[in-house]
Amino acid sequence: MDTQLIYVFIPCIVLLLWVYTQFASIKAFPPGPRPLPFVGNIFDLPTAQIWKTFHSWKAQYGDVVHFRAFRKSYLILNTLESATELLEKRGSIYSHRPILVMLGQLMGLNRSMALFDNDDTFRQHRKLAHTALGHGPIRRYHGLQERIALQLVSALLHQPADFLDLFRLSAGRIVVAVTYGIDIHSPDNAYIKDAERTLKIISASLAPNAAVP
């Protein structure tokens, strides 16, 4: 009987110590919704339009919000000031990318500059990107942006009910023209539709509960 009690007692002690360490470590993070043992805040996260939940937490917990999904911790930066403070002014500390198994390793997007770690490779790519998209070079695109803006205003005057598609077309025109030098004329263009489809897949894969059945 004593041996059976030991077998029950020891796992309970281990479990209690684990729960205590998990909840005690929360004090080191900014405020946020209280997590459950093991799963964290996974049940607080919606499967769609997760940014609305993040924004609603701002009013309750502040500009910087912490939550957990299983064993991973996440910080939500709800203001430009907090993002600038952590990712720009303290970029050497906070700009490293997390290891994203689904999006990065399985989907192959870890070969994209957006998911590079903050290392020499990333800095070399950023330097190359700066030659085309830095404060000086982007002035070359002002005329292009003005022309596309005028096309947007003219189209809105004649087709006000189609404002959503017209804004999609305008945004797509600028990106495709700057990147590829191609002028597109329809919001159903393959460049726009493929980009929107890709962003939708990426957004769904980035959700902390994306791999939960």
- 96-141 pLDDT, tens digit each: 777 777 777 777 777 888 778 778 888 888 888 888 888 888 888 8
Provide the CB-side half-sphere exposure for 41 (13 A, CA).
24
| DSSP state for residue 36 in the 8-state scheme | B
Tell me which residues of the chain have a pLDDT lower than 50: 1
C-alpha torsion 179→181→184→189, nearest 10: -50
Q: What pLDDT, on the 0 to 100 scale, is given for residue 3? A: 58
pLDDT of residue 157: 93
Structure confidence at residue 50 (pLDDT): 81
What pLDDT, on a 0 to 100 scale, did the predictor assign at position 209?
61
Q: Could you give the residue ranges of the DSSP H alpha helices within the chain? A: 2-25, 50-61, 80-84, 91-94, 120-133, 142-158, 163-180, 190-206
Can you give the pTM of this predicted structure?
0.58
Residue 65: strand pairing partners: 76
Rounded CA gap, 74 and 155, in Å?
A: 42
